[in-house]
């Protein structure tokens, strides 16, 4: 399809594109029943815009939109058809049109463990079972995926066998028995290390087998909608639609299962229906995307999100912030309404308490019932293990006994009732998976995030940030999902091996997956990016979790942009892909948060042994890194400074100057950061007050001299053409000499001098700082100035001075205005000596040795500071 660039049709062209945008907006903000109509309309108008053609129309971008809209339309139609067959409401899908980069992310996330799991499309099932993807010949289909096994599993593994070889009493005439449960389903885990998966299957079984609309009908293919069960495929291929890495994906497996040479099993079994096949096939499909039957671990909330697409929430039961009654009411209503699936997870229970309590550490359990009886609140909990410990605490009603079904003994069900208050005490997490159909609107946003280096870990410079606006105060749920990648599987396996070797808790092993979190801020201006978490009011803070999913629930302020920040801690891999899913009952406007100031420059540097001068209380302050900032126009200005040493106290000071700073007072500082914050700090012009055009100098300092670390400085403005350059310190590379005595003005003294001896042509600078016990010089309301003089008496000559020769009252460190001066020893000899002169007016410091001035000289040839200070009276 080619565009005809006819400028005469430009008005029509722009109208068609504008109408397409209107229908695209309606697609995101409209009701689900209108989604298909809006998608078709948007695609039609975009097609017309391309065909008419005009300057300014981005044909490639519109073609991408049309392609996605057509795919979305087919998905909507298939979703509506599936809902009709399964008697369920249509699935809540994101109707936001994805950018090319986002679609690329989803395609790249298809690769896992050397396999390809493509995004599910409307025609995936028909393609597979018409023979275009899987072998539909009479020969049995064999999946060549190498499912890994643990050493314990390999020791008894006897090969991959098909159902007719594993299940007695089933033949070609009654294959449908393998998909039918005659008795209530009772799933159990044996030698597979997937307690979270089996707990998930146990908890979700009522939803998988519901007469009102089985979730299994949209999970496993082919499906018999008439009998509400999966179909049996004689030659063995089964297709699963699993939700991971940003979308629904296609996962194909055969029907072979791992057999053993003992009575132990490597796959999930139904103890009441031993021939039931579909749970083991669901488990196999899930373990295919997670690396094999030696599954190193997950949590049931994550597993259920993959199997059902329901929104995972992790409630930390040991948190001080948990509201017991509110939490119970929420989960009870969700469970009773069929909109919540519940599972539980234990923490690091000491080994001696496991047997006493009947609970297993770091283990997932299914919740099978939720009941209230007067003041009593209880959960029916199931341990998915075949032979397992069962809660034996106070009030336990464990059903660990043998039942009889017909003439056949039934194994223990491993179920027990526990008071909700006891669950809070003995379990660490409650996982709740919520039906997304509780909401009317959904938007998915996909992004790639390159992890910042150590210098920017404490700031939000590289963090994904989004501006979110809601038309009402209806709650918004935001789900952050990290896409799996191979490097994470290796970390999981290493941490499990380390745990097994040392019998340690997963929380105490060295190999970790890192953490992530979501937060909502009131930024200024509203909806813009934040530099640091401390600079703006945090409205809602989510926990940092090591799970691949985390959920933030919050109540927005209507029509007020708020900033959503994605944060991380110690994520070990260099790059990750993520998906943000927004759920709401009111339309949302979501975009990447803009910068508050549109232009920025980034400088990298380091404090080293030559330039780490410490705070302004030290005479070496001026050897700190300095940068000139030249503004071509009046503009607001901000600075963000961060370092790779997280506990290093750092500071920013901006001074109006076009050269290296050698003296400073409080009134010289135009903008400064808070006093020495650790790891990162920020400052900006006050409110909207801009800085005039001109050249300024910014000084970056640590609190103590000699503190080392790399840093990144980000300078932001509203104008282009800002020039940032490094200012070389006049003291860099120089030798430091300190007068052996502090210069102290006695009562009535106004002028002190100390001799400086040189032996060769020398370039030098002089620095003086307050040396007052318990305070700063200048607190007496007087003034001080410093000079460098050749000779004495009326013939003396000033070769350098501070503050333009004037007195300063508010000062911390004084230097020569000239920065450096060249001194010839022959001239010094002829003039009668070189002197540092200090002059006070109005009692700058207290007498009696309680105050004074420390003076040091920096030179390239070395100097000798001769004798002490002497009082002189020279006009």
| Residues 478, 588 contacting (CB under 8 angstroms) | no
3-state secondary structure of 279: helix
Please say if 363 is a catalytic residue.
yes
Structure tokens at 755: 């001799």
Q: How many Å apart are CA 763 and CA 860, to the nearest integer?
A: 6
| Distance of alpha carbon 491 from alpha carbon 203, whole angstroms | 28
How, if at all, do strands 115-116 and 677-678 pair? unpaired
Angle between helices 195-208 and 300-308 (to 10 degrees): 40
C-alpha torsion angle, residues 573, 575, 581, 582 (rounded to 10): 100
State the Cα–Cα distance between residues 142 and 256, nearest whole angstrom: 8
Whose CA is closest to 534, among 644, 434, 458?
458
Active-site entry in 383, 414, 463, 535: 383
Q: Which residue, among 273, 269, 271, has the nearest Cα to 281 in the 3D structure?
A: 269
Residue 61 vs residues 72, 443, 710: alpha-carbon distances, Å:
16, 20, 42
Q: Is 732 buried (19+), middle (13-18) or exposed (0-12) by CB count in 10 A?
A: middle
Q: Which among 110, 486, 119, 118 is positioned nearest to 291, based on CA atoms?
A: 486
Residue of 195, 202, 247, 683 marked catalytic: 195
What does the alpha-carbon distance between residue 104 and residue 113 come to, in Å, rounded to a whole number? 19
Tokens representing residue 91 in the block: 């699935």
Helix (H, G, I), strand (E, B) or coil at 101: helix
Extended beta strands in 336-402, E state: 340-345, 364-373, 376-382
How many CB atoms within 10 Å of residue 146?
A: 10
CA gap 586, 589 in Å, rounded: 10
**Using omega within 30 degrees of 0 as the cis cutoff, is the peptide bond preceding 505 cis?**
no
54-77 CB burial, b ≥16 within 10 A, e <16: beebebeebbbbbebbebbbebbe
The answer to whether the CB of 485 falls within 8 A of the CB of 576 is yes
Of 569, 517, 497, 510, residue with least CA distance to 297: 497
Using DSSP, state whether 782 is helix, strand or coil: coil
Q: At 280, phi and psi to the nearest 5?
A: -70, -30
Distance in angstroms (rounded) separating the CA atoms of residues 525 and 528: 6
DSSP SS3 for 795: helix
Beta 549-554 vs 476-482: how paired, if at all? antiparallel
Cα 52 to Cα 809: distance, rounded to the nearest angstrom: 74
Q: Is the torsion defined by CA of 125, 127, 130, 133 positive or negative?
A: negative
- Give the Cβ contact number of residue 393 at 10 Å: 16
Q: Does residue 207 carry a catalytic annotation? A: no
Catalytic residue among 38, 207, 305, 363: 363
The contacts found for 136-139 with CB under 8 angstroms, 24 or more apart, are 136/235, 136/237, 137/235, 138/235, 139/235
Instruction: Tell me how far apart the alpha carbons of residues 835 and 829 are, in angstroms, rounded to a whole number.
Output: 12
Exposure string for 295-318, b = 16+ CB within 10 A, e = fewer: bbbbbbbbbbbbbbbbbbbbbebe
Residue 712: is the preceding peptide bond cis (ω within 30°)? no
Tell me, yes or no, if 683 is annotated catalytic: no
Backbone torsions φ then ψ of 805, nearest 5 degrees: 85, 0
Helix (H, G, I), strand (E, B) or coil at 678: strand
Catalytic residues: 195, 363, 383
């Amino acid at each position: 399809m080619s565009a005809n660039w006819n400028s005469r049709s430009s008005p029509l062209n722009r109208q068609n594109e504008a109408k397409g945008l209107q229908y695209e907006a309606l697609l995101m903000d409209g009701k689900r029943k209108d989604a298909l109509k809006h998608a078709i309309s948007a695609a039609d108008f975009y097609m017309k815009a391309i065909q008419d053609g005009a300057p300014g129309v981005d044909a490639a971008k519109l073609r991408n939109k049309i392609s996605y809209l057509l795919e979305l339309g087919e998905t909507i139609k298939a979703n509506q058809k599936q809902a009709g067959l399964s008697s369920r409401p249509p699935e809540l899908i994101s109707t936001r049109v994805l950018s090319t980069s986002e679609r690329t992310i989803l395609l790249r996330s298809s690769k896992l463990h050397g396999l390809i799991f493509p995004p599910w499309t409307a025609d995936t099932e028909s393609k597979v079972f018409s023979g275009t993807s899987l072998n539909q010949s009479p020969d049995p289909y064999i999946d060549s995926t190498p499912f890994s096994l643990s050493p314990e599993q390999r020791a008894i593994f006897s090969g991959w066998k098909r159902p007719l070889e594993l299940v007695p009493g089933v033949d070609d005439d009654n294959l449908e028995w393998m998909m039918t449960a005659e008795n209530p389903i009772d799933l159990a885990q044996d030698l597979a290390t997937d307690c979270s998966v089996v707990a998930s299957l146990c908890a979700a079984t009522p939803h998988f087998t519901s007469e009102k609309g089985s979730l299994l009908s949209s999970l496993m293919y082919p499906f018999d909608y008439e009998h509400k069960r999966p179909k049996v495929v004689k030659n063995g291929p089964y297709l699963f639609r699993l939700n991971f890495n940003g979308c629904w994906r296609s996962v194909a497996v055969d029907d072979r299962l791992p057999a053993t040479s003992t009575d132990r099993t490597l796959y999930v079994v139904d103890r009441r229906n031993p021939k039931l096949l579909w749970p083991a096939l669901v488990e196999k499909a899930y373990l295919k995307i997670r690396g094999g039957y030696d599954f190193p671990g997950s949590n049931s909330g994550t597993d259920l999100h993959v199997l059902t697409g329901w929104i995972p929430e992790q409630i930390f039961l040991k948190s001080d912030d948990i509201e017991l009654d509110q939490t119970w009411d929420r989960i009870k209503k969700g469970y009773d309404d069929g909109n919540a699936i519940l599972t539980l997870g234990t923490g690091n229970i000491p080994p001696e308490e496991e047997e006493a309590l009947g609970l297993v550490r770091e283990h997932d359990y299914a919740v099978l019932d939720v009941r209230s009886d007067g003041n009593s609140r209880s959960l029916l909990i199931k341990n998915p293990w075949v032979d397992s410990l069962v809660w034996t605490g106070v009030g336990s009603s464990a059903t660990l006994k043998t039942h009889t079904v017909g003439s056949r003994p039934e194994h223990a069900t491993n179920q027990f009732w526990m008071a909700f208050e006891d669950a809070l005490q003995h379990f660490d997490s409650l996982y709740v998976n919520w039906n997304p159909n509780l909401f009317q609107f959904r938007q998915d946003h996909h992004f790639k995030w390159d992890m910042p280096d150590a210098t920017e870990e404490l700031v939000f410079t590289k963090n994904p940030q989004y501006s979110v606006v809601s038309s009402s105060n209806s709650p918004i749920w935001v789900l952050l999902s990290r896409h799996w990648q191979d490097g994470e599987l290796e970390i999981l396996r290493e941490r499990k091996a380390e745990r097994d070797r040392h019998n340690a808790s997963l929380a105490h092993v060295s190999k970790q997956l890192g953490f992530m979190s979501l937060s909502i801020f009131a930024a200024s201006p509203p909806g813009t990016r934040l530099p640091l978490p401390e600079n703006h009011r945090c409205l809602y803070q989510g926990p940092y979790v090591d799970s691949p999913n985390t959920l933030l629930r919050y109540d927005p302020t209507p029509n007020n942009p708020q900033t959503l920040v994605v944060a991380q801690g110690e994520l070990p891999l260099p790059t990750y892909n993520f998906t943000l899913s927004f759920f709401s009952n009111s339309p949302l406007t979501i975009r990447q948060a803009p910068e508050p100031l549109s232009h920025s420059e980034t400088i990298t540097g380091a404090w080293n042994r030559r330039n780490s001068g410490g705070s302004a209380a030290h005479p070496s302050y001026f050897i700190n890194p300095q940068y000139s900032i030249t503004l071509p126009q009046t503009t607001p200005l901000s600075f963000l400074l961060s370092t790779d040493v997280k506990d290093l106290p750092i500071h920013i000071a901006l001074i109006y100057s076009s050269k290296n700073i050698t003296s400073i007072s409080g009134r010289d500082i135009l903008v400064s950061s808070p006093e020495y914050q650790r790891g990162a700090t920020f400052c900006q012009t006050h409110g909207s007050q801009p800085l005039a055009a001109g050249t300024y100098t910014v000084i970056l300092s640590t609190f103590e001299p000699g503190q080392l670390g790399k840093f990144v400085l980000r300078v932001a403005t509203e104008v282009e053409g800002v020039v940032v350059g490094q200012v070389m310190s006049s003291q860099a590379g120089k030798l430091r000499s300190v007068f052996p005595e502090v210069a102290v003005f006695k009562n009535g003294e106004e002028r002190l001098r100390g001799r400086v001896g040189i032996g060769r042509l020398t370039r030098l600078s002089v620095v003086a700082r307050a040396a007052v016990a318990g305070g700063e010089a200048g607190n007496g309301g007087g003034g001080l100035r410093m000079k460098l003089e050749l000779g004495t008496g009326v013939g003396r000559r000033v070769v350098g001075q501070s503050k333009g020769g004037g007195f300063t009252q508010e000062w911390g460190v004084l230097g020569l205005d000239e920065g450096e001066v060249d001194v010839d020893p022959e001239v010094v000899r002829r003039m009668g000596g070189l002197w540092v002169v200090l002059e006070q007016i109005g009692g700058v410091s207290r007498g009696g040795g309680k105050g004074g001035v420390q003076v040091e000289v920096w030179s390239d040839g070395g100097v000798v500071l001769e004798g002490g200070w002497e009082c002189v009276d020279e006009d």
